[in-house]
């Protein structure tokens, strides 16, 4: 049996000129994950990141802190949808809001995006197809005894989890709302296929380092 460990990036720079950078706390969250790996004696057999800077920064911080690993491969199929553009198209002042108000605006925009309404960025169907294709790729890698770490964003993790739990996209939005920065969602791969083992684990994070955005 193999396993896949879907890791949401550490806290990014909400409200900054470049969102796609880890904040200072984001680096600390990512390092805490790596320290927990070292303490438990666990290490990924291989690692994959999306193509975004925050994915690579999370991977590097975690792998360096663990003292294990030989780098990572990059697969842009694990990239996040353009949530900033979606929220701004819904409400141009969204980025000036606090994070809870931003999430409310984003959720309204996501509902329309999933329904096929025109908007900025890629269509929802394109997002779904590329993420699930990349998930199929790592399932193929997670052969017996192999542990694949995937450093990505909340959207791809929510989509995969929804498909594993419900067989479709129906849980995507509810799951997407609650994925914690630097959390780990574990999928086991065996003779019966891929199954969700654990969701949104944060035991490696001190309580004051748990963030949703």
Which pLDDT belongs to residue 91?
Answer: 82
pLDDT tens digits, 103-138? 889 999 999 999 999 888 899 999 999 999 999 999
CA nearest to 92, candidates 81, 80, 84: 84
Extract the tokens encoding 94. 């969204």
Binned at pLDDT 50, 70 and 90, residue 18 comes out as confident
As a three-state string, the secondary structure of the chain is CEEEEEEECCCECCCCCCCCCECHHHHHHHHHHHHHHHHHCCCCCEEEECCCHHHHHHHHHHHHHHCCCCCCEECHHHCCCCHHHHHHHHCCCHHHCCHHHHHHHHHHHHHHHHCCCCCCCCCHHHHHHHHHHHHHHHHHHCCCCCEEEEEECHHHHHHHHHHHHHCCCCCHHHHHCCCCCCCEEEEEEECCEEEEEEEEECCCCCHHHCCCC
Q: Is the pTM of this model over 0.85?
A: yes
Q: What ranges do the domains of the chain cover? A: 2-81+122-209
Which pLDDT belongs to residue 212?
Answer: 92
Its CATH class, for the domain covering 2-81+122-209, is alpha beta
Contact 38, 89 (CB under 8 A): no
pLDDT tens digits, 65-92? 998 877 899 999 999 999 988 988 888 7
3 - beta bridge partners?
147, 188
Burial (CB < 10 A; 0-12, 13-18, 19+), residue 208, is exposed
> What's the rounded Cα separation, in Å, for the pair 5 and 194?
12
> What's the rounded Cα separation, in Å, for the pair 114 and 34?
35
């Amino acid at each position: 049996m193999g396993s896949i460990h879907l890791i949401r990036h550490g806290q990014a720079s909400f409200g900054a000129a470049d969102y796609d950078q880890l904040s200072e706390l984001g680096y600390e969250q990512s390092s805490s994950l790596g320290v927990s790996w070292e303490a438990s004696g666990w290490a990924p057999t291989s690692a994959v990141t999306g193509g975004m800077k925050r994915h690579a920064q999370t991977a590097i911080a975690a792998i360096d802190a663990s003292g294990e690993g030989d780098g990572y491969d990059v697969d842009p199929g694990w990239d996040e949808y353009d949530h900033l553009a979606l929220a701004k198209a819904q409400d141009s002042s969204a980025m000036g809001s606090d994070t809870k108000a931003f999430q409310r605006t984003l959720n309204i925009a996501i509902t329309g995006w999933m329904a096929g309404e025109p908007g900025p960025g890629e269509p929802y169907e394109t997002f779904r197809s590329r993420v699930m294709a990349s998930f199929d790729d790592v399932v193929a890698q997670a052969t017996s005894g192999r542990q694949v770490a995937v450093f990505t964003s909340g959207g791809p993790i929510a989509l995969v989890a929804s498909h594993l739990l419900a067989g479709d996209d129906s849980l995507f939005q509810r799951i997407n709302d609650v994925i914690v920065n630097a959390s780990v969602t574990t999928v086991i791969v065996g003779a019966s296929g891929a199954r969700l083992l654990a969701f949104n684990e944060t035991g490696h994070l001190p309580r004051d380092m748990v963030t949703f955005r």
